[in-house]
Amino acid sequence: MSEIKLLFAGPMGAGKTTAIRAISEIEPISTEVANTDLIESNKAETTVAMDYGELTLDTGDKLRLYGSPGQKRFEFMWPLLAEGALGVVVLLDNSRTDPLADLHDFLAAFDTQIGAGRVVIAVGRLDSHPHPSLDDYVAAVSRRGQFLPVVDADVRQRDDVIGVLEVLFEQLNALDLGDSPGANEGDEWMRFVDQARVQ
């Protein structure tokens, strides 16, 4: 059994807090405050630091689920929250003005994780806003020279969020994760020590 950190990222209103709330087995930690940026979104509240939830898998492994704030002004939080994350779910909202621009912004922000193949893209509100299509997203990712899974998801539905995580884990399993130092392979503590920053 181990603990696995995952990050939900994406623009404001894409459903990061909702997704974590949908699957967390604990009452999630939330840093929502009143939203004063009604041009960006008409949501009443918005996350300003992080969300946190937990989910134990049938295998006994525990997922630690972090959610990032979505607004660009909070981008300093993104690498902090991504540190140590095994994978990233980028949630996109097809009802926003330019969701493909959102896609490019977040792919750029999580370039390190994408380079390691640890990202899945989940698109919401496709029913009410069918354009761009999933194919358009795949093409946009492909034009960046990347290959990432792109799925449709209603993050209010627990099964949909679990489905997104299953895609992410399939993606992770497909990777060659044998790039840890050989002597420390399988020892989570030593991997942590190896990767830690020096004061």
Partner 1 sequence: MTQISRNLPLALKGAIDAAVRDLHQRVPAAIGCVIATVDGRLVSHVVDNEADPQRIAAMIGSMVALGETIGREVRIDRSQYVVVNALNGTLLTQRVPSRKELFVVSTLARPTTNLGMLLHETRSTADVIARAVDDWLDQHQARSAEAASA
Q: Which stretch binds partner 1 (CB under 8 A): 15-23, 32-40, 50-58, 106-114?
A: 50-58
Instruction: Closer to partner 1 by CB, 83 or 159: give it.
Output: 83
Task: Tell me the window of 35-43, 45-53, 99-107, 130-138 that interacts with partner 1 (CB under 8 A).
Answer: 45-53
Residues 6+ apart with CB under 8 A from 13: 40, 41, 43, 70, 93, 96
Say which DSSP state 183 is in. G
Tokens describing residue 169: 């884990």
Residues 152-191 that bind partner 1 (CB under 8 A): 183, 187-190
Q: Residue 81: CB partners within 8 Å, gap ≥ 6?
A: 7, 9, 50, 66, 68
Q: Judged by CB under 8 A, does residue 199 bind partner 1?
A: yes
Sign of the alpha-carbon dihedral angle for 105, 107, 112, 115: negative
Q: Is residue 34 near partner 1 by the rule CB under 8 A?
A: no
The contact set with partner 1 (CB under 8 A) reads 1-3, 5, 26, 29, 49-50, 52, 54, 62, 64, 66, 76-77, 80-81, 83-84, 183, 187-190, 192-193, 196-199
